[in-house]
Amino acid sequence: MRAEDHDQGMDPSTGQPVGAPVGHTPIEEVDRLCRAAATAAPALAAFSPPDRAALLRALGAALEAHRDEVVALADRETGLGAARLAGELTRCVVQFELFAAALEEGSILEAVLDPADPSARPAPRPDLRRMLLPLGPVAVFAASNFPLAFSVPGGDTASALAAGCPVIVKAHPGHPALSVLCARIVADALAAAGAPAGSFALVHGVEAGRALVVHPAVTAVGFTGSVAGGRALFDLAAGRPDPIPFYGELGSLNPVVVTAGALARRAEAVVAGFVGSFTLGAGQFCTKPGLLLLPAGHGLTGALADAAGAVAVGPLLNARIRDAYLAETEALAALPGVRTISPGPAPDGAGYRVAPRLFAVGAADLVARADRLLEECFGPAALVVEYADRAELDKVFAALPGGLTATVHAELPAEAELARHLVAHCVARSGRVIWDGWPTGVAVTWAMQHGGPWPATTGSVHTSVGVTAVRRFQRPVAYQNLPQELLPPELRDGNPLGIVRRVDGVLGLA
Amino acid sequence: MRAEDHDQGMDPSTGQPVGAPVGHTPIEEVDRLCRAAATAAPALAAFSPPDRAALLRALGAALEAHRDEVVALADRETGLGAARLAGELTRCVVQFELFAAALEEGSILEAVLDPADPSARPAPRPDLRRMLLPLGPVAVFAASNFPLAFSVPGGDTASALAAGCPVIVKAHPGHPALSVLCARIVADALAAAGAPAGSFALVHGVEAGRALVVHPAVTAVGFTGSVAGGRALFDLAAGRPDPIPFYGELGSLNPVVVTAGALARRAEAVVAGFVGSFTLGAGQFCTKPGLLLLPAGHGLTGALADAAGAVAVGPLLNARIRDAYLAETEALAALPGVRTISPGPAPDGAGYRVAPRLFAVGAADLVARADRLLEECFGPAALVVEYADRAELDKVFAALPGGLTATVHAELPAEAELARHLVAHCVARSGRVIWDGWPTGVAVTWAMQHGGPWPATTGSVHTSVGVTAVRRFQRPVAYQNLPQELLPPELRDGNPLGIVRRVDGVLGLA
């Protein structure tokens, strides 16, 4: 088997193969799976919201039933540690349960009933009823860094199935055996719960992934990965004869700004929190704080160096990420104006282990070299940016690309006006604004927003985490003057499913 | 002034110029307007929902105050008739009022409050609050066929302003003087109501339009027009270094299928309704029923010819549309298998007047020549498709492109199973399914859906009409652990604005 024909899982702590190679999916097989998904789509769409909720609960239960097996294999292929991976599995289960509950409550279906109105202006109005229906087969590109939560049984899969869409996952090559195991659990659970054949499939390989994005049966794509990879697939999706939405989460710097007031009050907590956050999961979080904006003369260089030097991070996910991390941090260190705070000890040579690396630069130098310094570096590296005054802070924010998060540490009430100013900067450039905390950790809940202006995502009007992530895979349809028996139950008189609806403009259970 | 430097309004009933030429906007001026919109954006975003509602109501009142002047000029430039245009103006006013009421009710802001939960799995959860914020400056491309409702003061403008976004309209060249008048009314009303300078602008010319789509300050585009024009601009938007959403409504055939049962019961009503609908507004509705699917042997050819021959339609909007209509209908008539039901009398030569033209084709011929026969023809032309049985109907539906609407005329309970089958076809291929009616007429209401699979729109997950059209120009932002005083009022404890919110998962006024 040639290297370009298969994915081979590797143990990051040893650099040795795990399990057998997994062959790439031939294009004819991708076509067959997409056609099967298109056939499954109307049958899956016909599941009522409670029946769809039951499917999701069955998926959560199946993952739970295979917990030990899944966590052990995930750890072998990713080296992220059993505790972290068990948490990720729980997160997937909780996500299926939350989406199931949301379907039962029903407001995510956005059912709206507007009765006929003969006196409407400028013309009499017919009976109109509208709801969100499943869009159709969805392609999901799995990420490397969350081998469960942003992979086969993760957020995009859960969102698309909650919407009622068949899913075809393109496995991440970093954890092929885990992907196969999870896909089998998902597919078996769906089949056992009565979902139509073709509701779920897994493919491997770059060419299979490209074939998914341009396949006529595929109606949307969810993606988590790099800016370069995401942009290439976005362009494919937009270039189709019939363009389809491409929901890509690409890259984010997640700046944290600390004011003089916050620094004076709690410098120690800032150092500990920052180093803990940027090294979490070996710095392989999409929400890693890659930039710490500190007042010039902060006096924390020693403390930061000590803290970063004391952290032992797990190995990086694979050799490619390790090599890129080493090359990018070397290049960063060599840029004029960049000082190394913590070079990290030399890696011990076992597997893909590296040391955290922390750098510092003045705000003016950062702005002058924004093209080089404002790129995400995957892994446990971060940059301290030292600003002289608010004018410099404003220039830094003006140079910042869009991101998933932005964080403010300030003191109230003393710095209220400055805090408001900084929060406005953060809102303008990100999808989640954090006060006095750290961006790593993304709760799966109604209010979560995981998205932001380019390049954080390809479309900032949506989210990839939280209940409203389902909305990406739903299509509104209005029914005009349909007889009761031809309406979906969600829109019938008397609300037989008992879901939240908007009737004559008013939200409720009518 | 050279022809490519300006737009010249023409009276469609005479073909003579109306008013002075309106010069195309220089690119430097487009740049200045976009920068002004970017400057206005945060100030406009800071308007509370009730204040934004007041802006919208002021716009409605201003249009109403200029009703006679607007309708008269619109009629001179479009020839659509004072009654129809007065209705369009009312529709714009009603739309501003509906969106204002929706802002006051507040659920379109999607405010969500999830309290901190120390017992959340897999990890304790911080306080998270999320709402939809304005996306930023929006470019709106006006359409020719609704010179008010889908032009300067129309749905895209109202949606974007309701979302809190500055708007720059690219005028349609078919009604330049009306565009200038409406833009003045809108801009003056916004200024009088206290909106920041830069909240609204108008540009003219193809190059100005292209410059808008690629300008860094523009964050989204709304478009109504042709497939070719829309696709070109969509590609520009998707090709930006930072792609932005392009919400385009392009083209739709709006098929109407009539069963044998419906034909037996109400053939006369079908003939009258169909001819009335496809000739309405001289066939220049995006929802014109371009296809009528009748059982073979329907026996209505004579009645259809009589009805179509008896309709006197107004002139087409401009010479380009008139020439295209004549060329496309001639080409249609010459295709093998196509019969002419009503050739229409020769136009009398005054202005851009034409006669309705109606054709017929067998289902098998339609499917065989789908590439030629399933393209939208703008103007009062339509095609009767004669099907032998359900198998042929299925083949026609399989060949149909996506559309805005699809309509079923059938008899219940006798044809219940067939009706269900046809409704499923319609749902799969359109955004609005109509029972026993006609697609022209698009109510502005909560439940309206105006959109559909490609090529009806560039993105079927959204709508361009109805209250949820606002959602296209909103971006979710989550606030994590923010102190009360730094939260927007929409998300503060105690719900100071009294809007509908989701608190701890439950929708209400808490």
Angle at B420 between CA B416 and CA B422, to 5 degrees: 115
Q: Does A481 contact B428 at a Cβ distance shorter than 8 Å?
A: no
Q: For the domain covering A29-250+460-474, report its CATH number.
A: 3.40.605.10
Q: Name the residue among B452, B491, B444 with its Cα closest to residue B468.
A: B444
Helix (H) or strand (E) holding A60: helix A49-65
Local confidence pLDDT in tens for the 510 residues of chain B: 566 799 999 999 999 999 999 999 999 999 999 999 999 999 999 999 999 999 999 999 999 999 999 999 999 999 999 999 999 999 999 999 999 999 999 999 999 999 999 999 999 999 999 999 999 999 999 999 999 999 999 999 999 999 999 999 999 999 999 999 999 999 999 999 999 999 999 999 999 999 999 999 999 999 999 999 999 999 999 999 999 999 999 999 999 999 999 999 999 999 999 999 999 999 999 999 999 999 999 999 999 999 999 998 999 999 999 999 999 999 999 999 999 999 876 666 679 999 999 999 999 999 999 999 999 999 999 999 999 999 999 999 999 999 999 999 999 999 999 999 999 999 999 999 999 999 999 999 999 999 999 999 999 999 999 999 999 999 999 999 999 999 999 999 999 999 999 999 999 998
Q: Does B481 contact A435 at a Cβ distance shorter than 8 Å?
A: yes
Does B129 contact chain A (CB < 8 Å)? yes
CA dihedral of B269, B275, B281, B284, whole degrees rounded to 10: 130
CA dihedral of B442, B444, B445, B448, whole degrees rounded to 10: 40
**In angstroms, how far is CA A82 from the centroid of its own chain?**
21
**In the 8-state DSSP scheme, what is residue A377?**
-
Q: With a cut of 0.95, is the ipTM above it?
A: yes
Say if residues A461 and B245 touch (Cβ distance below 8 Å).
yes
Q: Does A505 contact B446 at a Cβ distance shorter than 8 Å?
A: yes
CATH of A256-435, one of 3.40.309.10, 3.30.930.10, 3.30.420.40, 3.40.605.10: 3.40.309.10
Q: Is the pTM of this model over 0.90?
A: yes
Catalytic residue selected from A77, A97, A249, A490 = A249
| Closest partner CB to A126 (pick from B101, B114, B437) | B437
Does B478 contact chain A (CB < 8 Å)? yes
Q: Do domains B28-117+126-250+459-474 and B256-435 have the same CATH topology?
A: no
Closest approach of A94 to chain B, Cα-based (Å):
7
Q: How far is CA B360 from CA A387, A462, B304, B357, in A?
A: 74, 45, 11, 10
Q: Does A431 contact B507 at a Cβ distance shorter than 8 Å?
A: no
Contacts of A105 in chain B (CB under 8 A): 505
Q: Does A133 contact B427 at a Cβ distance shorter than 8 Å?
A: yes
Q: How far is CA B459 from CA A129, A151, B452, in A?
A: 21, 26, 7
pLDDT in tens, A370-421: 999 999 999 999 999 999 999 999 999 999 999 999 999 999 999 999 999 9
Does B133 contact chain A (CB < 8 Å)? yes
C-alpha span between A294 and A385 (Å, rounded): 6
Does A447 contact chain B (CB < 8 Å)? yes
Say if residues B15 and B315 touch (Cβ distance below 8 Å).
no
Say if residues B59 and B89 touch (Cβ distance below 8 Å).
no
C-alpha span between A312 and A272 (Å, rounded): 14
C-alpha span between B275 and B308 (Å, rounded): 6
pLDDT in tens, A456-510: 999 999 999 999 999 999 999 999 999 999 999 999 999 999 999 999 999 999 8
Contacts of A416 in chain B (CB under 8 A): 485
The reply to whether A286 belongs to the active site is yes
- Where do the domains of chain B lie? 28-117+126-250+459-474, 256-435
The reply to whether B286 belongs to the active site is yes
Does A451 contact chain B (CB < 8 Å)? yes
Residue range B28-117+126-250+459-474 in CATH 3.40.605.10 = yes
Residue positions counted in chain B: 510
Closest approach of A132 to chain B, Cα-based (Å):
9
